[in-house]
Amino acid sequence: MPGSANSLFTTHTLISFPNCKINLGLNILGKREDGFHNLETFFLPVRVHDALEIVPSENETHITVTGIDAGNPENNLCIKAFHLLKKDYRELPEINIHLHKAIPVGAGLGGGSADAAFTLQLLNKKCNLNISEEKIFGYASLLGSDCPFFILNKPCLATARGELLEPINISFAQYKIAIVHPGISISTAEAFSKIKPPSPGKKIKEIIQQPIETWKNELNNDFEKYVFEKYPDIKKIKEDLYKAEAIYASMTGSGSAVFGIFKKDAIINYSTEHGYFYKIVDVVENGNNF
């Protein structure tokens, strides 16, 4: 039986820092009968963080969102995550959520999915709900295809809709990653509707275990063709990252953020004159810590 959540909430403020992810390769394998698509990709968690704070409320549950505009707060996945748990765990008290957004929105970085997954885990672990990892994965999958990844938050091969995860131990200790977001928001649904799955090539699982220097010619994101044709500025970001001597560069997810992988000691000569979001980050090595 779950423990008492109320007793903890009266004395604690719960805080965590959801991070984002990038996709190393993204192959669309075909449309499913449920309307989703089967895919193959490699999720890599990286250190761009939102801030998530949860405190007890004397009234009904409410959310405030600051930082980057993320749309209507009442549609936020953190609220949906709370109500998903509240349906099964009635002892969970009403809460106030404060989410400060620093991860770009509509960028293919999975910030909303991370916020939801961290909400589930924070409430479970700090409120002694004693929900198994398997059941938490189930809740996460109801919130979005990327959400289960952030329960593990470790480098993973992802298949099916993205919810079937296989952790793979790959070290990025000798590298740093530049992330660039031009402020363009890409509709994931529209991007999927424009994709014609190409003939399958070498498996991403095989490619990502090769030296990074080989990825440029083999590791592809199937969304790039459509997005680059519609938004040439995004294509140019990738070209400019290669001009800055990235070992590998790609769009992440369905866009519009683009990243480049560089040696740890490299001096990155990338121009930020356009005012784009630009950040040099490391890989999250140890998963979530609550």
State the 10-residue block means of pLDDT for the chain, 290 residues long: 52 87 93 78 97 92 94 92 96 94 96 97 92 96 95 95 92 96 88 76 93 96 95 97 97 96 95 90 81
The span from the CA of 40 to the CA of 208, in Å, is: 12
CB 65 within 8 A of CB 73: yes
Q: Which domains, ranges and CATH numbers included, belong to the chain?
A: 5-167 (3.30.230.10), 175-281 (3.30.70.890)
What is the per-residue pLDDT for 189? 78
Instruction: Give me the catalytic one of 50, 115, 126, 146.
Output: 146
What is the per-residue pLDDT for 113? 97
Q: With helix as H, strand as E and coil as C, how does 192-261 read?
A: HHCCCCCCCCCCHHHHCCCCHHHHHHCCCECCHHHHHHHCHHHHHHHHHHHHCCCCEEEECCCCCCEEEE
What is the per-residue pLDDT for 196? 77
What is the per-residue pLDDT for 188? 78
Phi, psi of 208 (to 5 degrees): -70, -10
Could you tell me the CA-to-CA distances from 246 to 6, 128, 268 in Å, in that order?
A: 50, 45, 8
Catalytic residue list contains 146: yes
CB 161 within 8 A of CB 29: no
What is the per-residue pLDDT for 9? 62
Phi, psi of 34 (to 5 degrees): -85, 5
What is the per-residue pLDDT for 3? 47
Place of tokens 């959801």: 18
Catalytic residue list contains 235: no
CA-closest candidate to residue 87, choices 142, 40, 125: 142
What is the per-residue pLDDT for 200? 67
Maximal C-alpha separation, the chain: 58
What is the per-residue pLDDT for 46? 98
